[in-house]
Amino acid sequence: MDDLDKLKTELFECRECRDLFGFEPRPVCMGNSGAKIVQVSQAPSIHVHNTGRSFNDISGRRLRNEWYEISEEVFYDPDIFYITSVGHCYPGKSKNKGDNPPPKICAQKWLSREIDMVRNKMFILVGKAAADFFFPKSDFTDLVFSDHTIKGRPAYVIPHPSPLNVRWFKEHPEFEKERIVEIRDTLHDLIFDQYA
């Protein structure tokens, strides 16, 4: 058991937000310290909360099938992807259409320590909450269409694949036509040696 495994054991027992949520929190993250890619998103959906499996929902299917073009086998390989989020638990439904924002305390308490323990070669930030954590006060769309680094490693920002995110996709068709193709090529280069 390495340091990340020990941290995850502690994380899975975290119930810090029980009173805030009004239900039993279920922390979710997946992957090993040797994973090639760290993917950080906003927070688990209700489906992920119910199953304990990251991106096991409609957003995950779009991410894997249409954007990354990889199989579930690759996506859930713990030596390929370390899958985590700014908030590790489903945060409950908001009064509007979506879910509540992730509790701020979660990233401070867990995310920074997690990513220090993974020897990844690439970061992918999914959605605005993850982008804001790493690049505060930056324009989200500018972040999507430019290359970045985190800890000296390549980092890419992509929109959340949620079907609720319709407006952004209508306003930025070049994301699915061009930008994701560039990111996918880099992603495939990283995983190609194992799955060629």
Residues that bind ligand SF4 (CB under 6 A): 11, 14-17, 25, 27, 87-89, 103, 105-106, 109
CB of 46 or CB of 105, closer to ligand SF4? 105
Q: How far apart are CA 25 and CA 16, in angstroms?
A: 8
Q: Which CB sits closer to ligand SF4, 57 or 99?
A: 99
Least separation in angstroms between residue 81's CB and ligand SF4 is 19
Q: Measured from the CB of residue 114, what is the shortest distance to ligand SF4 in angstroms?
A: 11
Q: Per the structure block, which two tokens stand in for 184?
A: 């996918």
Q: How far is CA 44 from CA 3, 57, 91, 142, 167, in A?
A: 24, 10, 8, 25, 22
Quick check: 22 and 107 in contact, CB under 8 A?
A: no
**Pairing, β 148-150 against β 122-126:** unpaired
Q: Which is nearer to ligand SF4, 130 or 143 (CB)?
A: 130
- Cα angle 177, 181, 185 (rounded to 5 degrees) comes to 170
Nearer to ligand SF4, 8 or 179 (CB): 8
From the CB of 123, what's the least distance to ligand SF4, in Å? 20
Cα gap 122→77, rounded to integer Å: 15
Least Å from the CB of residue 79 to ligand SF4: 24
Which residues, other chains included, contact 118 with Cβ-Cβ below 8 Å and sequence gap of 6+?
A: 4, 31, 32, 33, 34, 35, 38, 82
**Minimum distance from residue 37 beta carbon to ligand SF4 (Å):** 22
Q: In this complex, which beta carbon is closest to ligand SF4, that of residue 22 or of residue 152?
A: 22
